[in-house]
Structure 1
């Protein structure tokens, strides 16, 4: 009678597959897989029932039909999920320097690859005319100071008029302001390093005309570098400042641990991503625009435990694992239906269905059916660790 039942189940599955309306190849394969799984589940239940009946009739057959299994050993730690995104090394000290005012380049004081310190002279423009004007202003200022000092002495002696005193004072102060302005203009003819770093590129050529905004020198520094990554908008709200991150540099074959420094709040309409900035400590030895692989933690649950994903199975009633059940001092396999969460790195988060005191079956689970008699491997772990 059981053979007739099994044959009927197989025929019904095949008939349903044959009578279904035309579908694409992938959908057909999925439907066929579901049908075969259903048949397999029914076959396992039938096998389990037959084994129980045989054991009841022939106790000597129990040991021979017992399946050797090994429980799962689970580490006691929070479940974490990570995502991998591509990132690039950025620097806040990666700048192009140009002249504020126009003029002929008189001298280039640095070369590519040279280390420089803050305020070191990089490029100087021809300032002969300006220096001549400064010399003339200094001469005029010296005369104005002399006249002012004499006029001030006379004024204190009540000699002369107040207008003469104020005119002398105004002439002196006006020349002082003009001289200060000339010195400021002279300083603009000298392009200096705004910070300590390395000269990455020199575009300036002696004798060339410099114009405002025309790049002359590129400077970089590794003192203020970070990793910038674009993350899909589906992870909005899952990443926050301070979350763990790991950065891998393929060129150096190096990994460094870090944290998220900031999370962008604007979605890029072109690729539907938002930017994430990861801290990068000094001394890593990388360069701006270098490509990296960034691993970001987007989920953590401190109050759960996980199981290896490969031990979780599915039937018509849902997902389950096999646990050990003792019946009359004999170990049996029992289906425990579970609700799972996320999966990562070969492990799956268990949300419901297990309390942690069960002995979950690992190795040997593929040969089991619900209620099958089992033998635990010698020395096997017999607990599931939980928080």
Structure 2
């Protein structure tokens, strides 16, 4: 009983300790947030006081006026802006054939006429399978057919001379036809032991040798496959959240790291089903015939999902934040001086290092691109190093 009481007490103490720890963490977090807000308020207050004092000093003692801060600037020039999503895709062959034995069963390879990488044409003989047992059935039937044909000729001649009956002639003729049909069936079976190319292309894989059994498929996959590289496509999986932006006709920019080549194409097929595992759908786009492209080759696919003409853009790194939101420092011409001013902005899309500005800047505005983090509202600035006293 005492052990149970001790255990209960320990559990209670641990629970209380954990609860206290969580409360302490929450209190510590709130304290830090409050401290940060307090410091930001002081920073803003100090910046305002510094600016006011510098203005007063400039009036009382022009020689003590704040020296301009050396900065670099650039003028806003509207330009076309595009946003792309980058995905990994691959090169696929539209036409790829896995060669199968014509008889549906296969057999032992007695001759092989194709090697991996060889160009083949439709109908070309690729291999022959062992048909010895089949052809062995033909020889005795040929002997029987020869005998039956002789019998038919004699019976027909005798009947023409008035000897014998017409039924004898019909029986002899039927025997000849039956034997010919049997031989024809066996010859067709023998022909099915010849493996031919189902289409023109390149023998991408030849995984069978003379003496081995050819069934079309092995534990390692297709034994002979043919690829027509004259009709290739790019395939990639697009995340579900881009469903409304990517469809048939969407422009793709494809780069092939293995070859250093890039090409532009358009989506020809957009999947209608979302893969439940990856939450994505497949798109396909044709690419021109190119012998340097290989099926299953990795491709980097850039899909344009947004475009804006005459957009205002800035380098991403010059965007700053404070308690009131996002802003950039601009150079404003005020009289003979250039003054740093905060300009509040609303941002749009980001691609690479360029950020679209929806509002807050316009064509011709001059933004500060260097030393902007050291500026405060109303600070004199210059781009001329000679005006800055070292």
Give me the TM-score of the superposition, normalised by structure 2: 0.70
- For residue 122 of structure 2, what is the aligned residue in structure 1? 118
Partner of 1:235: 242
The aligned counterpart of 2:301 is 294
Describe the SS at the equivalent of 2:25.
Answer: coil
The reply on whether 1:91 has 2:93 as its aligned counterpart is: yes
1:82 maps to: 84
Q: 1:212 Cα shift?
A: 7.0
Q: 2:345 corresponds to which residue?
A: 338
What are the superposed Cα offsets for residues 18-49 of structure 1, whole Å, 9 maximum, x if unpaired? xx962499999888766655543443333222
Aligned residues of 2:76 and 2:362 also touching (Cα < 8 A): no
* 2:367 equivalent to 1:360: yes
2:204 aligned residue = 200
In 2, the alpha carbon distance for the partners of 1:44 and 1:223 equals: 68
* SS in structure 1 at match of 2:79: coil
Distance 1:109 1:355, change over 3 A: same
Deviations, residues 87-126 of structure 1 (Å, cap 9, x unaligned): 2222223332111313443422112232222321112234
Q: CA deviation at 1:303?
A: 4.3
Cα distance change, pair 134–372 in 1 and its aligned pair in 2 (3 A): farther
Match of 2:48 among 39, 45, 48: 45
Q: How much has 1:58 moved relative to structure 2?
A: 2.5
Instruction: Check if 1:321 corresponds to 2:325.
Output: no
Cα separation, 2, equivalents of 1:354 and 1:80: 19
TM-aligned CA deviation for residue 318 of structure 1: 1.3
Give the Cα–Cα distance (whole angstroms) in 1 for the partners of residues 34 and 309 of structure 2: 38
1:128-150 C-alpha deviation (Å, 9 max, x unpaired): 6777999979x89xx9xx99xxx
Deviations 1:46-104, CA, capped at 9 Å, x for gaps? 32222222223223334x52223332245542211222222222222333211131344
**CA–CA separation in structure 1 for the residues paired with 2:88 and 2:34:** 37
Write the distance in 1 (CA, Å) between the matches of 2:374 and 2:323. Answer: 18
Partner of 1:158: none
Long gaps (5+) in structure 2: 1-22, 154-172, 386-390
Q: Matched residues in 2 for 1:78 and 1:258: separation?
A: 18
Contact 2:340 / 2:380 at 8 angstroms: preserved in 1? yes
Change (3 A) 1:204 1:284: closer
After the TM superposition, which residues 206-225 of structure 1 pair with which residues of structure 2 at under 5 Å, given as runs? 206-211=210-215, 215-225=222-232
CA distance in 1, matches of 2:37, 2:187: 85
Return the index of the structure with the highest Cα Rg: 2
Which residue, out of 284, 288, 291, partners 1:277? 284
Shift of 1:175: 11
1:61 to 54, 64, 70: 64
Counterparts of 1:189 and 1:224, CA distance in 2: 30
The answer (yes or no) to whether the contact 1:241–1:259 under 8 Å persists in 2 is no
Asked if 2 retains the 8 angstrom alpha-carbon contact of 1:81 and 1:343, the reply is yes
Matches of 1:124 and 1:374, distance apart in 2? 86
1:107 aligns with 2:114: no
Tell me if structure 1 keeps the 8 A contact 2:89–2:235: yes
Cα pair 2:87 2:302 within 8 Å, conserved: yes
Given the superposition, is the C-alpha separation of residues 182 and 299 from structure 1 closer, same or farther in structure 2, using an over 3 Å criterion?
farther
Alpha-carbon distance in structure 2 between the residues aligned to 1:270 and 1:282: 33
Pick closer, same or farther for the CA change 1:45–1:245 going to 2, 3 Å: farther
* 1:142-181 map, 5 Å: none
Write the distance in 1 (CA, Å) between the matches of 2:28 and 2:195. 69
- Cα distance change, pair 348–334 in 1 and its aligned pair in 2 (3 A): same
Change in CA separation of 1:26 and 1:199 when aligned onto 2, cut-off 3 Å: farther
1:329 Cα shift? 3.4
1:267 to 258, 274, 283: 274
Alignment-derived partner of residue 262 in structure 2: 256
